[in-house]
Structure 1
Amino acid sequence: MADRIDYGLLETIASALRSVSSDIDSLADSLPSSPDAGNGTAAIVGILSKFAENAGNLVVGAAAAAEAVMSAKVAYQENDLMSADLITRTGIKAV
C-alpha cells in the first residue's frame, strides 16, 4: 500500500480516459451506412449495430471512469489538507 497519492498521476489517468472517450465518440460519424451485401446485408447491419452499441458503452464508461478518478483525487486532496490542518492545530509531531 502506498503512503502517498500522486495527484498528477490521477489527473493523467483521468485525462487519458477522457481522451479515449472523446476519440471513440468522434468516430461515430465514420460508421458506414447499410451496405449492399445481398443476402448478407442483414447480418452485416447487425454486426455494425452491435459494434456501434458497444462503442457507445465504451464512450460512456470511459467518461464515467474519468469522472470517478477525478472525484477520488479531489477527495484525497481534501482529506490530506484536513489531516495536515489537524496536525498543525494539535501540534502532533510527524514521524
Structure 2
Amino acid sequence: MERPPPWMLDSDSQKPPKGKYTTPPFDPRFPNQNQTRNCYQNFLDYHRCINNMERRGKSTQPCEYYFRVFHSLCPRSWVQRWTEQIEEGTFAGKI
C-alpha cells in the first residue's frame, strides 16, 4: 500500500484524546486578533519541516506541532486549496 504524502496526513489521527482539546499557544510574532498570517506561516513551517526531515532521513514527528496548529487556525477550504496548489506546482509560498 502506497504511503500518502506528508501533507495529507489523516486529521483524525492528529486529534487529541477525547475531552483534551488544546488551542495553539500564544505566538508573539502574531499578537493581533487576526490569525491569518499565523495560519499561513504554520502551514509553510509544516511543509518545510517535513521536507527537511525527510531529506535528512529523520522522523517527521516534530513537524506534527505545526500540523496541529495550522489545522486549528486555518479554514479547511484554505488548506485544501493550498494542498492542491502544491500538488500542481502553482503554490505561491516558498517551501
TM-score bin, normalised by smaller chain? 0.3 to 0.5
More RCO (CA 8 Å, sep 6+):
1
Greater fraction helix: 1
Larger Rg, first or second structure (1 or 2): 1
TM-score normalised over the length of structure 2: 0.37
